Amino acid sequence: MNEQLTKQLVCQMKILNFWVTLFGSLFVVAIVIIGFLLWQVVSFVNQTNQKIDEVRQATADSLNVSKKACETGGDVTEWLKNTTGICK
């Protein structure tokens, strides 16, 4: 009877070991996938932030009328330099 109980316990331990291994492996794979997706999201947000900063800077430069007027040269620039304090 003791031998039969030992066989049953060994069989149950094998089944338990199988399920623990299966779910443990699935958990590790899920953590790796979540980590990869999180890295992708952070990279995408960083790249988007850089593009937005570039566009914001380009827009600010294109809307800076006094800077453009003072850098273009010509009669208007000379008149602005001589009569106003914009081109300092």
* Domain regions of the chain by residue span: 2-63
Give yes or no for residue 15 having a pLDDT over 90.
Answer: yes
Task: With beta carbons less than 8 A apart as the criterion, state whether 70 and 77 touch.
Answer: yes
C-alpha distances in angstroms, 23 versus 5, 11, 16, 20, 77? 27, 19, 11, 5, 74
Two tokens at 74?
């010509």
Residue 19 confidence class, pLDDT cut points 50, 70, 90: very high
Across residues 38-46, what is the average pLDDT? 98
Q: What angle do CA 21, 24, 26 make, to 5 degrees?
A: 110
Q: Kindly tell me if the per-residue pLDDT of 73 is higher than 80.
A: no
Residue-level pLDDT at 82: 74
Q: Average pLDDT in the 42-59 region?
A: 94
Residue whose structure tokens are 């338990």: 16
